[in-house]
């Protein structure tokens, strides 16, 4: 009798654990939206890097490559290029999806309104890019 009570308790705990795991799992729609969020974040960072490096590079008369730091949140990205032996300036650029560059600073001095023509770049043709151009349009 004692062994059957122990087996019944063990079975109940096991069944409860399986139910808990089953209800903790995300629905397929939620999993897909989370994956899409990751992809959108990657695209945002990529577009921001293309646009910001082109805008800052035009003011510095030299191209900028990989930023030292990228912070992204809710459709906007802050890119920072720190001073180094390859770059004598600190560059900070805030890119907001749908609005383009909202702030560009070189050595702490804001450059004001910045417009970038990247129509030749394939990233410019993607949804959410600054120019909103698409292939064939």
Report pLDDT digits (tens) over 5-26. Answer: 898 899 999 988 887 777 776 5
Whether 59 is in a domain gets the answer yes
37/74: higher pLDDT: 74
How many domains does the chain fold into? 1
pTM score, whole prediction: 0.59
Structure tokens at 125: 């043709």
Whether 14 is in a domain gets the answer no
Query: Which residue range(s) make up the domain with 126?
Result: 36-137
Structure tokens at 45: 């960072």
Q: d(Cα 4, Cα 15) in Å, to the nearest integer? A: 16
Whether 13 is in a domain gets the answer no
Whether 124 is in a domain gets the answer yes
CA-based R_g, the chain, Å = 25
Whether 54 is in a domain gets the answer yes
Q: d(Cα 50, Cα 127) in Å, to the nearest integer? A: 14
Q: d(Cα 49, Cα 78) in Å, to the nearest integer? A: 9
């Amino acid at each position: 009798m004692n062994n059957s009570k122990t087996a019944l308790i063990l079975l109940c705990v096991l069944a409860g654990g399986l139910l808990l795991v089953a209800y903790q799992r995300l629905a397929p729609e939620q999993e897909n939206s989370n994956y899409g969020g990751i992809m959108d974040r990657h695209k945002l960072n990529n577009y921001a890097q293309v646009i910001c490096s082109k805008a800052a590079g035009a003011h510095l008369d030299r191209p900028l490559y990989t930023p030292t730091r990228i912070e992204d949140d809710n459709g906007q990205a802050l890119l920072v290029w720190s001073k180094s032996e390859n770059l004598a300036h600190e560059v900070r650029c805030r890119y907001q999806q749908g609005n383009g560059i909202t702030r560009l600073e070189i050595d702490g001095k804001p450059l004001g309104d910045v417009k970038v023509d990247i129509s030749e770049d394939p990233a410019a043709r993607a949804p959410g890019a600054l120019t909103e151009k698409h292939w064939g349009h």
